[in-house]
Structure 1
Amino acid sequence: MRRVILLFSGGLDSILSAKILREQKIRIVPICFESYFFNCHLAERMAKRLGLKLKIIDFSEEHLKIVKNPKYGRGQGMNPCIDCHLLMLKEAKKVMEKEKLDFIATGEVLGQRSFSQNRNTLKLIEKEAGLKGLILRPLSAKLLPET
């Protein structure tokens, strides 16, 4: 059975991604990231409802550094979308390798956020994170190259 880390916020996109992965008989290890700017309360509630055991990673210090000085600029609302997502994927990769999981899944929707969820940016993030071919985006799967 395939095993995947799912970046899980508890929002609709991550819930739908979990449902799709389950339908494909993929074992899900959901992870949520906490920082000074956001918490995992919703993710904890939704993971419990779905019967998933959530892993929480506090990356407050690393996140604060990129908020202060983002390499890839800022999105709407002055948030460092690309840098933040890249940091999450790099941290998820560490867990994936440590636990010998097969790949990483996200709830990203191609085009939903013009700055950070376009083809070029998704490719850039995948390359920079060292995860080429290892990121599955179930909600955009028919619009992107096969993982």
Structure 2
Amino acid sequence: MALAGCSSINNHRGYIVDETLYAAIQPGLDNQQSVRGTLGQPTMISQFGDPVWYYISSRTTQAPFRQPRINTHSVLQVHFDEAGNVVSTERTGMEQVARITPDGDETPTLGRERGFLQDLFGNIGTVGAMGGGG
């Protein structure tokens, strides 16, 4: 019973990839309507440049008291021409995932360093001092 509480949590996020449906998309034959009917609504659509639809999928594992880690990641890209016909399809995976480590619990900022007491008492006398009216 105690070991069950220490097991990892597996989770799927995003599009569920069906290889048969993805292989059915043919450049030159399909258009946006047929792709939407086959693969469904895309996760994202490009905002600039040529129209590209993205179908994004990730599987994560989360150990107790830890941040989730990505085990598998897949991005299906469907490129269209101006008329809405499929030009090409592309698939990328874990090689595109960037693992970053934040620098501590604080965000570095430009400016002077202030201590706790300066933060606490630094504004005393400054509120309403500029205008003098009131």
Q: TM-score range, shorter-chain basis?
A: under 0.3
Higher helix share: 1
Higher RCO by CA contacts (8 Å cutoff, separation 6 or greater): 1
Give the structure-1-normalised TM-score. Answer: 0.22
- Relative to the length of structure 2, the TM-score reads 0.23
Which has more strand, going by share of residues?
A: 2
